[in-house]
Structure 1
Amino acid sequence: MSVSKKVLAQALAAVLSLVSFGAVAQQKQTPEAWESMFNGKNLDGWEIKIRGRELNDNYLNTFRVEDGKMVVRYDEYDAFKQQYGHIFYKKEYAYYKLRIEYRFVGEQAPQGEGWAWRNSGVMVHGQSAASMGKDQDFPVSIEVQFLGGNGKQPRTTCNLCTPGTNVVIDGKLETKHCINSTSQTYAGDQWVTAEVLVLGDSLIRHFANGEKVLEYEKPQMGGGSVSGQQPGLLVDGKLLSRGTISLQSESHPVEFRKVEILNLEGCTDPKAKNYKSYYVHSDNSTCVYRKKK
């Protein structure tokens, strides 16, 4: 192993030790400050982009709030017609843990593709909603794919799909569009907890109901499986170190009752008021200090 690779491996090992889901031994322990991304009342703080529609045209009330949940509905659709949609959180992140509770309900929209039955997901390291082309189908991003069981064969969840992207698995560039996780199948209308650990352009891990089910490295632009994007958007091989988070509309009704995030980037100076022991990436420009008397 070269010196540079050895240093990189040591740094990655240190980062992973800090972000384990167990206790972290630090000089000064601080409780994890999870933030809710959805207020349970309205869609404030989110932007909507549906294929063929202008930014924030919530076509036929696709995204809405019902009973304190963010839901995706198609009761006003005559036909889906590949009008894929995404609802984007307005803030971008680089290092974080994401936790989402979701479930599939009801019947698929008319003319929804077979592959999209009980199919949704969350996109991470994505482009902004405003940068999407009017007729673009999916944001260039890394998709953590949610699937529901059909009672016929195994159908894992928290899989990986890659619209306009590639990743590295076991040291090899992986260009396949979708890769299954090792999760069990979750059938019916049961709630499932999906978690994602995102560490800049180095590592991403998927968890389903607390079990690690997939891991990969070096998310980057490349490949196909996306159309309608603005010219020049895709730069093959460009690493994705940060980006948007968005939830999908792919023709099957889905509900989200929890969408929350733990930022892992910020002030790492223990002398600052806003120091957090669990931060794994320093941004000490954000440090706030107590005024000297």
Structure 2
Amino acid sequence: MAAALAAAAPAADRPAGGWRPLFDGKSLDGWTPKITGQALGADPLGTFIVDRGTIRVSYAHYGKFAGRFGHLAYRLPQSAYRLRFEYRFDGTYLPDVEAWQHSNSGIMFHGQAPETITRDQQFPVSLEFQLNGADGREPRPTGNLCTPGTNVVIGGKLETEHCIRSRARTFPNGRWIKAELEVTPDGRITHRIEGVPVLTYSAAQLDPADAEARPLIDRAGGTLAISGGYLYLQSEGHPVAFRKIELLPLN
């Protein structure tokens, strides 16, 4: 396992038991932004802000998106856990984003260490619990999986598609949606939306065909398997808010 991914995961803070908040509702203490084109920790346009007990992705100071993907990293890596949170899309997307960015955000997990993300890298090598809102009349499920620099196994088969749809229904923007991610000690991963399992897979691994994953594979001595890593909240061009972000360690 590459140190850049999850070698430090056993050091993650573990309370005496029960769920613990990752967000205090008042500040971004414990969270660090990484915006494409900026150094780690720099967020000159205030993309990630605290607003009435939520972490909000704000574009109030943007004219255009201009490929400035953002990720807000939690301070410690995690390995086996349940993560629950609520999210809500509102407002409108920036004028220069692509159609797939409409009502689109996510929670990245099993991610590379923030300090290993290059200045112009758009996404951390990770798995993404993709969050979608409605956009037009076509079905647009939430709770999907996207895999920047990674692959997984579904039904005994290595799945190399970049994004895999869940069984969730389409939810309208403007309402809070409950989501939960479960990563068991044996590497089984489940996405839940409103308490319902919508996607399950296992055997998360680095993709040797991906240019951004290859340096991590080299650091790991050729090992592909991923058993943990960092959590990130995502900014993809549409305003979104997160609240009630809580984690329950399973190991």
Unmatched runs of 5 consecutive residues or more in structure 2: 1-15
Q: Give the TM-score normalised by the residue count of structure 1.
A: 0.76
SS at match of 1:74: coil
AA matched with 1:233:
L
1:58 aligns with 2:43: yes
Counterpart secondary structure, 1:233? helix
Secondary structure (helix, strand or coil) at the match of 1:60 reads coil
Matched, 1:206 2:191: yes
Task: Output the CA distance in 2 between the equivalents of 1:245 and 1:107.
Answer: 26
Moved more, 199-208 or 97-106: 199-208
Residue number among 158, 178, 184 corresponding to 2:163 in the alignment: 178
Identity percentage over the alignment? Answer: 45
CA contact (8 A) 2:93 2:102 kept: yes
Q: Structure 2 CA distance, aligned partners of 1:261 and 1:214?
A: 19
Which residue of 235, 239, 250 maps to 1:253?
239
For 1:70 and 1:50, locate their aligned partners in 2 and report how far apart those are by CA, in whole Å: 16
Alpha-carbon distance, 1:151 to partner: 4.0
CA contact (8 A) 1:146 1:157 kept: yes
Change in 2 beyond 3 A, CA 1:105/1:158: same
> How far does residue 58 in structure 1 lie from its aligned partner after superposition?
1.1
In 1: Cα distance, 2:94 partner to 2:28 partner: 22
**Number of residue pairs the alignment of both structures matches:** 233
Greater C-alpha Rg: 1
Amino acid across the alignment from 2:234: Q
| Aligned-partner residue type, residue 114 of structure 2 | A
2:230 to 226, 232, 244: 244
Q: What does 1:13-162 align with in structure 2 at a 5 Å threshold? A: 33-162=18-147
Q: Matched residue of 1:183: which SS?
A: coil
Distance 1:130 1:117 in 2: 29
Query: Match of 2:216?
Result: 233
Q: 1:237 to 1:177 in 2, by over 3 A?
A: farther
Distance verdict in 2 for CA 1:230–1:198, change over 3 Å: closer
Amino acid at match of 1:186: F
Gap runs ≥5 in structure 1? 1-30, 266-293
Inter-partner Cα distance in structure 2 for 1:230 and 1:217: 18
Work out which structure has the larger RCO, using CA pairs closer than 8 Å and 6 or more positions apart in sequence: 2
Q: Structure 1 residues 191, 223: closer, same or farther in 2, change over 3 A?
A: farther
Quote the RMSD (CA, aligned, Å).
1.8
Give me the whole-angstrom Cα distance separating, in 2, the residues matched to 1:230 and 1:134.
Answer: 15
Name segments (4+ residues, structure 1) moved above 4 Å. Answer: 234-237
